[in-house]
Amino acid sequence: MIKIRFMDGLEKEYKPGVSALEIAESISPSLKKKSIAAKLNDVVIDLNRPIIDNGSLVFLIEEDKESLEVLRHSSAHLMAEAVKMLYPHAKFGVGPSIEEGFYYDIDLGEDVLTESDLPLIEKQMAKIVAKNASIERKEVSKSEALELFKEDPYKVELINALPDGEIISIYSQGVFSDLCRGPHLPSTKWIKNFKLLSLAGAYWRGDSKNKQLTRVYGTSFFTEIELKEYLINLEERKKRDHRKLGKELDLFMLSEYGPGFPFWLPNGMILRRELESFWYKVHLKEGYKLIQTPIMLNKDLWIVSGHWMNYKENMYTSEIDDMEFAIKPMNCPGGMLVYKRDIHSYKDFPLKVGELGLVHRHEASGALNGLFRVRNFTQDDAHIFMTEDMIVHEIQELVRLFDYMYSIFDLSYHIELSTRPLEKYIGEIATWDRAEKALADALNAIGKPYKVNEGDGAFYGPKLDFKLRDSMNRIWQCGTIQLDMNLPERFDLTYIDQNGEKKRPVMLHRALFGSIERFIGILIEHYAGAFPVWLSPVQIKIIPVNNEFHLSFAEKLFGKLIDEDLRAEMDSREEKLGYKIREAQTKKIPYQLVIGDKEVQENLVTYRRYGQQEQVTVKVEEFIALIKQEIAHK
């Protein structure tokens, strides 16, 4: 017999091989009816999965977060089955659940899917749901799996990559079977509220040398209300598209003469410079030394750093005086040369060196996306040199800094620990293991929860990725902290310890915004273009009611605001007042000042905040004090 412990501390005995579904039924029929999946020793499993050892068991119902992931994973398989019924020759890559839904990568051969085909697939999915098809798990050997999927090159490739002797799980429903770790729903009856959303191209296994598959995105929820709310949210996101708002608000432009190379317009330059000034001010206060390193450096440097062997396909190169050079894709090697310029003592540590460095990376043309995926961008980099026993404290200090910076923009986040890549990496595995443990220990020491992201580290070291959540509930990869014990070795970096001996420093790479360009794209959509006053390219629009009587006062007011370092514009066009007010609203200018008889006679301003109907009349000095206080407090 095996012992199963429940949430209330009660223990019961069952025969080995009993399923969670059978245990639920033994407790109560209603629990069996409500259960989606179960957690055995904190691992989510199918309800039908045989349990052969002692353990703690928790039943998952619709309200549990893990249940939504199971629903969406099963929804992906449901979509794949529908596609298989409509396109019998289709072959399938991977189909996971993701933050807001699911996707599947599909090879359709000569057929091409379009957006107009998605309703047909949805209709087929609904037919399968109506049959309440069971979802069954089977374990097979590697040889059995190869036989089952011998006609599918994608599955054969995945199976061959697995160690010999490994047990492989396969999930089947109707005419569709796939390699999958699970877990899944007991049957398709739970998948009632779903929507297929979009199509994209995706290279098999993320490698541009491989065939491009069709990626179909979708989402699903347990209730119709949740699905409708999400679809409304998607429509709002379209209105906030940073490419659309960037054009309307004169922030940036893109040109066919430079794909992936954004042009900054006057308003965008103001926004960018305010963001950079804030960054500089915070970093100087935090004790960082600021530098700037060259954009182009000799090939030999990139060989030493490991970029030439591990990143060359993403680098732009050129020849100067018969020598090969590369435009930097990262700032780190230049930072190494700055460190090597001087002899350092342990008393210098932690040595914090920051740089807003322009980098270039060759991104595939199909991946370019406004400011989110570009070919040149400014990384807000810093390299912190230290001894190994400083790691926990310095990461604690960095997390504090990240907390402050993101709170200014009302952005929350979670942390992911990304470990050694399976293939392209430098250094010894033992060094990687030490570095990964140090990051985990640092987060545990300060009580910060994190998720492990296997194999997604940089090629030179593991990292902590800060995933931001914006006002539209989207997740963005921005900040990162990378612990590097390899580059200091490759560049032979040293310091003199308290015994007068040369030692190797440890280094942290870190970026808060990730890149200025991408962060601005996120902020445009986060704020829907209505930036807080301190960031807004134009903070105040002055609108005289009648130029004959009010223009002179408006011009003097304009001059006074400019003298106070406020960003003001005046609209003295011979247009109707309502038109000018509406245009200021369209441009999302934080304050509109309407100047009429009363304002001129009593030295007043009447202001209206963007998005509000209320008008407030105050003395000019009061308004200046009010807006300057708002700017100071961000």
Which residue among 509, 541, 567, 580 is the active-site one? 509
DSSP string, 237-297: HHHT-HHHHHHHTT-EE--TTSTT-PEEPHHHHHHHHHHHHHHHHHHHHTTPEE----SEE
Residues 6+ apart with CB under 8 A from 209: 203
The burial of 274, by beta-carbon neighbours within 10 Å (0-12 exposed, 13-18 middle, 19 or more buried), is given as middle
Q: Are strands 37-40 and 55-60 parallel, antiparallel or unpaired?
A: antiparallel
Which residue among 73, 240, 352, 383 is the active-site one? 383
Q: Is 383 a catalytic residue?
A: yes
Read off the tokens for 389.
Answer: 């026993």
Which residue among 32, 361, 375, 567 is the active-site one? 361
Which residue among 332, 360, 420, 518 is the active-site one? 332
- Exposure string (b/e) for 144-167, b if CB count within 10 Å is 16 or more? ebeebbeebebbeebbeeeeeeee
Read off the tokens for 612.
Answer: 């509000």
| Residue pointed to by tokens 């509220």 | 193
Q: Is 463 a catalytic residue?
A: yes
For residue 189, count other CB atoms closer than 10 A to its CB. 13
User: What phi, psi does 427 have (nearest 5°)?
Assistant: 95, 170
Q: Rounded distance, CA 47 to CA 55, Å? A: 15
Read off the tokens for 163.
Answer: 């160690």
Q: Is 332 a catalytic residue?
A: yes
Q: Is 307 a catalytic residue?
A: no
Q: Rounded distance, CA 513 to CA 379, Å? A: 8
Q: Rounded distance, CA 10 to CA 339, Å? A: 60
Pick the closest to residue 485 from 450, 443, 535, 435 (CA basis): 435
Establish whether the linkage from the previous residue to 88 is cis, with ω within 30° of 0. Answer: no
Read off the tokens for 350.
Answer: 């932690």
Q: Is 582 a catalytic residue?
A: no
Are 2 and 40 within 8 A, CB to CB? no
Q: Is 478 a catalytic residue?
A: no
Are 268 and 252 within 8 A, CB to CB? yes
Which residue among 155, 215, 272, 463 is the active-site one? 463
Pick the closest to residue 78 from 138, 144, 123 (CA basis): 123
DSSP state of 330: -
Q: Rounded distance, CA 572 to CA 545, Å? A: 9
Which residue among 124, 173, 379, 482 is the active-site one? 379
Which residue among 178, 380, 381, 484 is the active-site one? 381
User: What phi, psi does 468 have (nearest 5°)?
Assistant: -85, 150
Q: Rounded distance, CA 589 to CA 550, Å? A: 21
Q: At what angle do helices 65-86 and 118-130 cross, to 10 degrees?
A: 110
| Residue pointed to by tokens 């920051």 | 354
Q: Is 180 a catalytic residue?
A: no
| Residue pointed to by tokens 């991408």 | 518
- Exposure string (b/e) for 442-453, b if CB count within 10 Å is 16 or more? bbeeeeeeeeeb
Say how many CA atoms lie within 13 Å of 566 toward its Cβ: 27
**Residues classed as catalytic:** 332, 361, 379, 381, 383, 463, 509
